[in-house]
Amino acid sequence: MGRDKWSSLVWCGMGLFICVGSLRLSLGELHNPGPGFLSFYAGLILGGLALVIHFQSRKASSAHKKTEPDPIWKNRQKGWKMVMTVGALLTYAVIMNYLGFLISTFIFLAFLLRVIEPQRWSVTLLGSLAASAAFYFIFEMGLKSQLPRGLIQIF
Amino acid sequence: MFGFGELIYGLSITLTFSNLLYCLAGCVIGTLVGVLPGLGPVAAMSLLFPITLHIPPVSALIMMAGIYYGAMYGGSTTSILVNIPGEAASVITCLDGYRMARQGRAGVALGMSALGSFIGGTLSVVALQMVAPPLAKIALAFGFPEYFALICCGLVVLTFMARGSMAKALMMAAFGVFLGTVGTDLFTGVQKFTFGIKILYDGVGIVPVVMGLFGISEVLLNIEEGLTQEVFQTKIKNLLPSLKDWADSVGPIIRGTVIGFFLGILPGAGPVISSFTSYAVEKKVSKHPEKFGTGMIQGVAGPETANNAAIGGAFVPLLTLGIPPTPGMALLLGCLLSYGVQVGPLLIKNTPDIFWGVVSSMYIGNIMLVVLNLPLIGLWVKILKVPYVILFPLILLFCVVGVYSINNTTDEVILMVVFGIIGYLMKKYAYEAAPMVMAMILSPLMENNLRQSLALSHGSFLIFFTRPLSAILMITAMALLILPTLPWLRAKKWKGLDEAE
């Protein structure tokens, strides 16, 4: 319940943002609804319900005299691993355009295998190489997907 | 028999070499993703979405459907042997299935689960074949108000069926409706919430959202909660259940089929709720409810039958009304739309090859799956022993490559990661992703029908209440919104299922 207090505020903010954005787009008339018509009511429902949950949660936590929400991660170290995985995914998506599919995939897999759940170097390097090559052959050669070739324009 | 001639026509489509191969590929991939925890059927279907664009629509649908019902077979293997559900619809099988494995009856549990799935899956296809064509004829009378009312009612049912708070599910549905409105306005050409980002001009892509919410978020959660899994070491023997096992399971299988098929038709219920409901019903009708959770075969046979029967049910609204009741079905809809197939009441009439091809492929697919899941069970157990630390980088890579291949842009990969983070946080804060995805997919259809209805009625909302069918649907939706606020019902709503859990 403690967590709902904060998450509902985020959704409430989102609802407000949608409503303001929809008003800017124009709601139109009832006989000729504008582009912001449906999204405005969606934002209104989202924001309104988020407020209800927020107040319910406040009421519940004050009844239990609970001020601090439960921590989001049970294990901080593993939580950081999750954050690093997200970082790796985003970096991978960005560098793929510059380094091409094969090189960036090799780096991405090596990072996950070595840093997130450490494996031996031999497993990391051979595994990353084999998986990158396998994906390249399946998707580029087999399924004719146009995987990024990067600045070098080789792979 | 009703539809027999058409079924023969369907079989003539399915029984070609290429379609049999696609059906087998779907069943194998489905079983594989069902067996592997962390990659569900929806993520797998999203992954193969780009590939389906290069093959004929019937073949694509046969393969995608195979993945969907194949995953229901595979999911039980992991539940029984590892005590971790391979996918959400097999959660409840862990309770008695794993206990049976510990008692040395893993083979019987796996066997009954596969045979129950086969019976439920096949009977639900028979029901689909009988129910869909007459329903499509009725749906021909639907106009803009009826469609809008139907979507509203569907979304409300979806939130009503949500496991957690209905208010949260409604919020997610509202957010999904908003996401569905993003893109270029069809009536005015105005850009709605695109912020100059090119990939949003055609709307938020279904595949990056689904892959993020169901694939990436699951991996992130697994990384945080630990990557170890232990396969219960046992020799799998006696896969065929004894006469006593059959006697104990006949009732649960019949009830599971009925529950699964009818709940499968409802938006949002799908295989997950069907399996939970079946378990709750079996516990209720049993003479020994206290023994549930200790290795009762009824607790495996019922839910496993129900989750397969639900797939047949879920095809009914998709193929007759063009309205998908689950995210998996929404991907099938996306697949049909990408081919320019007219989805709705005219689908069966205009494209009978698709309807009867898919229906007949489901008969064949269920037979393939029994073969894949009984004699070849050892293969899946071996796959289960691959450590998750090796699997998760591959799952992530599959997601990235799958999303990239749709439009050859890394922007959609970033969008997928963003939705992965959103999905992870939603799971942490107990917000359900299914209402959001469903609403997002139905939103453009909803907006179009709402605006057309209001234009038709010169701005009067009464149009939704003056036409009988839309009035019934709207009143049902309103009643479902009010019902949970009644205290006695709120207490009662999920009592049975909570007991099951």
- Residue B228: the pLDDT is 62
In this structure, the number of other CB atoms found within 10 A of the CB of residue B69 comes to 33
- Which of A43-52, B100-109, B220-229 is least confident? B220-229
- Shared domain for A59 and A84, answered yes or no, is no
- Residue A65: the pLDDT is 60
Size of interface A-B (CB pairs under 8 A): 166
CA-based nearest distance B28→chain A, Å? 17
Instruction: List pLDDT tens digits, range B369-392.
Output: 888 888 888 787 777 777 778 888
Three-state secondary structure call for residue B366: helix
Instruction: List pLDDT tens digits, range A75-113.
Output: 777 788 889 999 999 999 999 988 888 999 999 999 999
CA–CA dist B490, B500 (Å, integer)? 17
CB < 8 Å to A72, chain B: 428
The alpha carbons of chain A give a radius of gyration, in whole angstroms, of 24
- DSSP of A73-86: -SSHHHHHHHHHHH
A55 within some domain: yes
- Minimum CA–CA partner of A112 in chain B: B393
- Residue B107: the pLDDT is 85
Confidence of residue B189 (pLDDT cuts 50, 70, 90): confident
- Which of B52-56, B176-180, B196-200, B248-252 is least confident? B52-56
Range among A103-107, B32-36, B491-495 with highest mean pLDDT value: A103-107
Tokens of B114: 């596969």
- Shared domain for A29 and A86, answered yes or no, is no
Residue B56 scores a pLDDT above 90: no
Residue B200 scores a pLDDT above 60: yes
- Shared domain for A57 and A20, answered yes or no, is yes
Q: Do A43 and B174 touch (CB under 8 A)?
A: yes
Confidence of residue B437 (pLDDT cuts 50, 70, 90): confident
The domain in which residue A108 lies consists of 76-142
Confidence of residue A61 (pLDDT cuts 50, 70, 90): confident
Percent share of chain A, pLDDT over 90: 41
Strand partners, A28: A33
Percent share of chain B, pLDDT over 70: 92
Percent share of chain B, pLDDT over 90: 17
Residue B230 scores a pLDDT above 70: no
**Are the C-beta atoms of B420 and B217 separated by less than 8 Å?**
yes
CA–CA dist A151, B433 (Å, integer)? 38
Q: Do B459 and A30 touch (CB under 8 A)?
A: yes
Residue B500 scores a pLDDT above 50: no
- Which of B130-139, B271-280, B306-315, B376-385 is least confident? B376-385
Check residues B442 and B257 and name the one with the higher pLDDT. Answer: B257
Please tell me which of the candidates B392, B405, B429 has its beta carbon nearest to residue A7. B429
Q: Do A112 and B404 touch (CB under 8 A)?
A: no
Check residues A42 and A117 and name the one with the higher pLDDT. Answer: A42
A31 within some domain: yes
Mean pLDDT of B56-62: 89
CB < 8 Å to B394, chain A: 131
Mean pLDDT of B337-366: 85
Check residues B19 and B140 and name the one with the higher pLDDT. Answer: B19
Mean pLDDT of A20-44: 90
CA-based nearest distance A29→chain B, Å? 8
In this structure, the number of other CB atoms found within 10 A of the CB of residue A83 comes to 14
A153 within some domain: no
- Shared domain for A57 and A82, answered yes or no, is no
- Shared domain for A100 and A128, answered yes or no, is yes
A155 within some domain: no
- Residue A152: the pLDDT is 65
Mean pLDDT of B72-93: 78
The mean pLDDT of chain B is 84
- Shared domain for A52 and A94, answered yes or no, is no
Q: What is the ipTM of this complex?
A: 0.91
Q: Do A30 and B410 touch (CB under 8 A)?
A: no
Residue B346 scores a pLDDT above 90: no
The end-to-end CA distance of chain A, in Å, is 51
Three-state secondary structure call for residue B494: coil
Residue A70 scores a pLDDT above 80: no
CA–CA dist B204, A39 (Å, integer)? 14
Q: Is A13 on the interface with B (CB under 8 A)?
A: no
- B361 residue type, one letter: S
- Residue B501: the pLDDT is 46
CA-based nearest distance A45→chain B, Å? 6
A83 within some domain: yes
CA–CA dist B368, B95 (Å, integer)? 27
A71 within some domain: no
For the question of whether the overall pTM of this predicted structure is more than 0.90, the answer is no
CB < 8 Å to B420, chain A: 86, 89
Mean pLDDT of B227-237: 62
- Residue B270: the pLDDT is 74
Domain count within chain A: 2
Q: Is A34 on the interface with B (CB under 8 A)?
A: yes
- Residue B199: the pLDDT is 87
- Residue B420: the pLDDT is 92
Looking at chain B, how many residues does it have?
501
Q: Do A131 and B397 touch (CB under 8 A)?
A: yes
- Shared domain for A82 and A127, answered yes or no, is yes
Mean pLDDT of B395-414: 86
- Residue B177: the pLDDT is 94
